[in-house]
Amino acid sequence: MINEMNLTLLLDLDGTLLDTKMDHFIPAYFQALADEFQSIVPSEVLVRALIAGTNRMNESDDFSSTLEQVFSEEFYSKINVPRADLEESIDHFYDRVFPTLSHLTERMAASRPFVEWAISQDFRLAVATDPLFPRKATLHRLRWAGFEPEQFELVSSFEHFHFSKTQPAYYAEMLGRLGWPDGPVLMAGNDYHRDILPARSLGLPVFHVQSNPDPTRQSGIPTGDLEGLRSWIEKQEARTLLPEYRSKDSVMSILIATPAILSGLAMNRSSEAWSKKPSLQEWSMGELICHLRDTEREIHHMQLDLFDEEGDPFIPRPDTSVWASLRDYFHEDGSQALMAFMVARRETLHRLRALPSASWNRKARHAIFGPTSFLETVGFMADHDRMHAQQAWAIQNESGIRPAPPIH
């Protein structure tokens, strides 16, 4: 059964662990912000700017900008007020005013027993809430649901995440920030279009949380309330919840998310932290990023070039393990290497997005894996990403260095 292998359980917040009627909550939230800042910004201007900023976050697939940065660029340009002039008032709003909106939500009786059961099973728990809110607002809502952030390994918010739940890359970023677990994974949430479809697109098993599921809906997706979710999990074998990262949507989402994952893991690192090694035999974070940068430039781009030629290409795979010592990665600037990797990955994604669908079926021979296809070759790139994101997460934890905390 499932408790024989460590399950990573991603749980939505609003509508899943907390009864939040978003069609009532969001207008009240925007109105509270408008009332708070009406002496500085006309209410109608502020609400339009909030909507514009939220839309930009939902549309953004920029792995180099957090959602907070995306929102701020749009929001402050619309209200024509410098961000520094509002920061103190914003802190006051989320400390004092936002908590008064709790009456628009209700605790769900089944939430706490379910989470306590999941903890007792040693599941890895993360709150996969749409990171469209600041961290303070997210943690208030988590506490309204009856929980403390320390009960979860990760809670997403817009300061630290780069994609909204409209995008499968959000789920890739969540898993990457958890070290890309190898075992079973399950995403459970109430929103079919933001919790279920994007997670499935990445390749994750899903459970649609609904108090009153429609018995006529024949989607093939397991559905029920939180008590039903527990019963369903208890009946699963670990192998039935193993993700499958082999589709075009899946590998593209991983390639998009990897720079965001690395940026999140490396957030606020000092120059000393970039070169700190967990042990003498292991890479530092800076060395790892240099390896990814050069692999992207010299291996992945070369492989894409080969597919531009006629016929079935032979795909070599040079030994890159010696590059770290030969190229003295240890003494490079890790933050500069990360920016260079992002530039190279942007070129990769541009080329992949421009390809016609038929190109993904092209045949090839791989030096290591034998007969292959273009899709499988790009899948190897995504596997390489996941392996080194696991390594980056391990470096972060084993070295004792922590990025800006995602849950406090």
- Which of the listed CATH numbers 3.30.200.20, 3.40.30.10, 3.40.50.1000, 3.40.50.1110 matches domain 1-244? 3.40.50.1000
Beta bridge partners of 372: 364
pLDDT in tens, 364-373: 999 999 999 9
| Mean pLDDT value across residues 241-266 | 96
Q: State the Cα angle at 14 between 13 and 18, rounded to 5°.
A: 80
Provide the pLDDT confidence category of residue 269 given band limits of 50, 70 and 90.
confident
b/e string for 339-364 if b means 16 or more Cβ within 10 A?
bbbbebbbebeeebeebeeeebebeb
pLDDT(165) > 70: yes
Q: What is the pLDDT of residue 2?
A: 59
pLDDT in tens, 125-137: 999 999 999 999 9
pLDDT in tens, 191-211: 999 999 999 999 999 999 998
Among the listed residues 89, 128, 108, 178, the one whose alpha carbon sits nearest the alpha carbon of residue 11: 128
As a whole-number percent, the residues of the chain with pLDDT over 70 amount to: 95
Q: What is the pLDDT of residue 186?
A: 98
Q: β-strand 124-127 against 154-155: which pairing, if any?
A: parallel
| Mean pLDDT value across residues 225-253 | 96
Provide the pLDDT confidence category of residue 383 given band limits of 50, 70 and 90.
very high
d(CA 18, CA 20): 6
* Cβ–Cβ < 8 Å for 185, 241: yes
Per domain, the residue ranges of the chain are: 1-244, 248-398
Strand order across the 154-155 sheet: 154-155, 124-127, 8-11, 185-189, 206-209, 223-224
Q: What CATH fold (topology level) applies to the domain 248-398?
A: Four Helix Bundle (Hemerythrin (Met), subunit A) (1.20.120)
* Cβ–Cβ < 8 Å for 129, 17: no
Q: Which residues contact 261 (CB under 8 A, 6 or more apart)?
A: 172, 173, 176, 177, 389, 392
pLDDT(404) > 80: no
d(CA 70, CA 132): 11
pLDDT in tens, 145-161: 999 999 999 999 999 99
Among the listed residues 266, 58, 8, the one whose alpha carbon sits nearest the alpha carbon of residue 162: 58
Q: Cβ-count burial of 244 within 10 angstroms (0-12 exposed, 13-18 middle, 19+ buried)?
A: exposed
pLDDT in tens, 70-127: 999 999 999 999 999 899 999 999 999 999 999 999 999 999 999 999 999 999 999 9
pLDDT in tens, 29-53: 999 999 999 999 999 999 999 999 9
Provide the pLDDT confidence category of residue 1 given band limits of 50, 70 and 90.
low
pLDDT(403) > 50: no
Q: What is the pLDDT of residue 405?
A: 38
* Cβ–Cβ < 8 Å for 260, 169: yes
Which has the higher per-residue pLDDT, 272 or 28?
Answer: 28
d(CA 297, CA 320): 12
Which alpha helices (H) appear in 22-109, and where do they start and end?
22-36, 43-59, 67-79, 87-92
Q: How are the residues of the chain apportioned to helix, strand and coil, as percentages rounded to the nearest 5?
A: 55, 10, 35
d(CA 204, CA 180): 12
Q: How far is CA 384 from CA 119, 265, 295, 340, 377, in A?
A: 31, 17, 10, 18, 11
Provide the pLDDT confidence category of residue 400 given band limits of 50, 70 and 90.
very low
Among the listed residues 290, 198, 323, 304, the one whose alpha carbon sits nearest the alpha carbon of residue 253: 198
Instruction: Return the top range by mean pLDDT from 116-130, 255-269, 314-328.
Output: 116-130
Among the listed residues 352, 293, 354, the one whose alpha carbon sits nearest the alpha carbon of residue 327: 293
The torsion region of residue 203 among left (phi > 0), alpha (psi -120 to 50) and beta comes to: left
pLDDT(5) > 80: no
Q: What is the pLDDT of residue 401?
A: 43
* Cβ–Cβ < 8 Å for 43, 35: yes
pLDDT(233) > 50: yes
| Fold match between domain 1-244 and domain 248-398 | no
Q: What is the pLDDT of residue 321?
A: 86
| Mean pLDDT value across residues 178-190 | 96
Q: Which residues contact 80 (CB under 8 A, 6 or more apart)?
A: none
Q: β-strand 363-366 against 370-373: which pairing, if any?
A: antiparallel
